[in-house]
Amino acid sequence: MQEKYIPIENDANLPTSEKAKHMEDWARLSDELFISNGLTKSAVRNSTFKSIQSTNAKLRDKVVEFFELLNSNRIPLLIFSAGIADVLETVLEFTLPSPLFNSVFNRLAFVVSNRFIYSEEPIPRLEGEDEEDDYQLIGFSTPSIHVFNKKASSFLETPFFQLTDESDRDNVILIGDSLGDLLMSEGLKFNPSNILKVGFLHVNIEERMQQYLDAYDIVIAGEESSFQIPMEILASICSFK
C-alpha cells in the first residue's frame, strides 16, 4: 500500500481533493487489515518497542532538547498526526527521559491522531500465558485523520484547543514534512505572518525543493535531518521572554 499511495500523496500534478480520496482509501484498507489480522494492545506496544530497539523508530537529533525548552518555558505542544496515536505515544514514552515525558504530557503536550479502539473485555488467556490482561483491536477513532484533512478547525473541541488560550499567545511554529501539513493551522485566529512554517523534505529532494521553498519559510532537507534549527529558533525566542 505504501508503494501505491505514497507516490499519489506526493504527486505535484494531482489536485488535493483527488489525493484526499486516495488517502481515505488507504486509511480504510489499513484499518481493515489491522482488525482482520487480530492485532492486540500488547502486540502494538511490543512491536513498537522492538522497532525502537532496532532504531527503525527514533527521534530526530535535538528533539529531546526541543522538548526540554518547551517544558522549561511552559510552551504548549500539539503533535498533529495522520499516524497512530498509540504508536507515537509509545515511541515518546520509551525515548524521552521519564521525568521529561511525564512533565510534558501531563501539562503541555497533546497528540491529535488516529487512535485504536480495543475491546472492553480482555482476551481470554490460555493456561500458562502471562497474567497481564490483553485487549483486541476492534475499531478506530473517527473521523479518520489523513495528511490532507489535518486542520485545526476540525479539532477545536479537543482538550489541546480547549485548554490552550489563544489570546495569551501571539505566535505559532508549524513543523511538518508534507505540503498537507501546512493545513494544520487552518482555523486558528493567529495572524498568518505570525506563523513560522518549517518543513522537512525527505524524498525526491531536487524535484520537490521549489514547491517546499514556495510553501514553507524554512526547508530542511535530508532523511537524517536534525531538529537543530527549530530548537535554536525556539531557544532564541525564549531568550527574549
Q: Domain spans of the chain?
A: 2-239
CATH class given for the domain over 2-239: alpha beta
Query: Which of the four pLDDT bands, split at 50, 70 and 90, describes residue 23?
Result: very high
- The values of phi and psi at residue 71, to 5°, are -65, -50
User: Mutual orientation of helices 85-95 and 98-107 as an angle, nearest 10°?
Assistant: 140
Query: Which of the four pLDDT bands, split at 50, 70 and 90, describes residue 164?
Result: low
- What's the whole-number average pLDDT of the chain? 89
Residues 241, 237: Cα–Cα separation, whole Å: 7
The HSE-up count of residue 209 (CA atoms within 13 Å, CB side) is 6
Residues 217, 223: Cα–Cα separation, whole Å: 19
pTM for the complete prediction?
A: 0.86
**Chain segment 34-65, per-residue pLDDT in tens:** 999 999 999 999 999 999 888 777 889 999 99
Percent of the chain with pLDDT over 70: 95
CA angle in degrees (0–180, nearest 5) for 12-15-20: 105
**Chain segment 138-149, per-residue pLDDT in tens:** 999 988 899 888
SS3 of 6, please?
A: helix
